[in-house]
Amino acid sequence: MNFKKILKALPLVACLGVAGVAHADALSDIKARGTLVCGTLGTSEPFSFQDPATRQVVGYEIDLCKEIADHLGVKLDVKMIAVAARIPELAGGRVDVVAANLGWSPDRAKQIDYSYQHYVSPQKILIRRDDADALKTNGDLAGKRVSAVSGSSSEAGAKRLIPDVTTVTFKDPPTAFMALQQKKVSGFVGSELMLLKFKQDAEQSPVKLEIIEDPLFVEPWGIGMAKGEDGLRTEVNKVLADLEASGKMQAIFERWFGPDTKFPTKRVFKVEEIKG
């Protein structure tokens, strides 16, 4: 036996082993593990939030994660994460997918892969009702302070689209909302439905609120996955496309946005590839 040849081959074998780990297939890992770990916010009704009665995290995006897990034949493990942690959690392999109000942007698309769009969100600005006469348009907030969730597309959009704006960021929507109520900022930038919920809640408080009618911008939302996980992305897209074709996507939408909900909204989008 030629031991010199064996010793020379060992580093190559070791490298191949490392490469195999580096290029692990997420879809195979999920099936072997028997669970799909879905990262979500848990603070954004009706997309993902804690049911007051059961304390379970429920919502529109949770239903979509359940559909994906069922399709793969595995259990669903919901992990609550912060907005700013969405991409790091994927990159670190601590979650398999992110369904957490994840708006598409060119910068994010360089870091992660997106599924087909499952929601399209108008991003708007919430203001105090007492300021409504002075703040009729998004441009009226030029040079002022607005709150947003740290790391959100709302923060980036405000910086990009409102001249000389100062963004004051917070770790979650409730604290960004509180800054508006406490008059630390002139506006709060976020998804229309989230702002609508805060506006409704504020009707019982001394500080009443309004939403500026014209969107600051409109963004498609998708389910995020680590770069290069084509097998997983194919299966996620298949689930979303089948839900659309069968009419079940509309039924899921009606469950959370129908006329008898807190967020009666007409569905004006369909599941399709995000066209950046």
CATH code at 127? 3.40.190.10
55: left (phi over 0), alpha (psi -120 to 50) or beta: left
pLDDT at 4: 44
Torsion 42-159-211-174 (CA) sign: positive
Q: Is residue 16 part of a domain?
A: no
Cβ atoms 54, 60 nearer than 8 A: no
pLDDT at 262: 87
**CA nearest neighbour of 143 among 124, 165, 115:** 165
Both 89 and 174 in one domain: the answer is no
Both 196 and 235 in one domain: the answer is no
Render 63-99 in DSSP notation, one character per residue: HHHHHHHHHHT-EEEEEE--GGGHHHHHHTTS-SEE-
CB count in 10 Å sphere of residue 213: 10
Both 156 and 206 in one domain: the answer is yes
Torsion 51-57-59-63 (CA) sign: negative
Q: Is residue 114 part of a domain?
A: yes
Sheet holding 43-44, edge to edge: 43-44, 48-50, 57-58
Both 98 and 39 in one domain: the answer is yes
Q: Give the domain range for residue 258.
A: 27-119+220-266
Both 80 and 200 in one domain: the answer is no
pLDDT at 193: 87
**CA nearest neighbour of 230 among 12, 16, 21, 28:** 28
User: Which residues does the chain have with pLDDT short of 70?
Assistant: 1-24
Q: Is residue 274 part of a domain?
A: no
pTM for this prediction: 0.78
Cβ atoms 126, 190 nearer than 8 A: yes
CA-to-CA distance for 162 and 245, rounded, in angstroms? 39
Both 114 and 160 in one domain: the answer is no
Q: Which two tokens stand for residue 128?
A: 């105090």
Q: Angle at Cα 269 formed by Cα 195 and Cα 248, nearest 5°?
A: 100
Both 44 and 91 in one domain: the answer is yes
Both 224 and 214 in one domain: the answer is no
Bridge partners (DSSP) listed for residue 44? 48
Q: Is residue 132 part of a domain?
A: yes
pLDDT at 5: 45
What separation, in Å, do the N-terminal and C-terminal C-alpha atoms of the chain show? 59
The count of structural domains within the chain is 2
Both 133 and 203 in one domain: the answer is yes
pLDDT at 10: 44
pLDDT at 3: 41
Both 209 and 256 in one domain: the answer is no
pLDDT at 11: 45
Both 235 and 157 in one domain: the answer is no
Q: Is residue 276 part of a domain?
A: no
Q: Is residue 161 part of a domain?
A: yes
Both 149 and 193 in one domain: the answer is yes
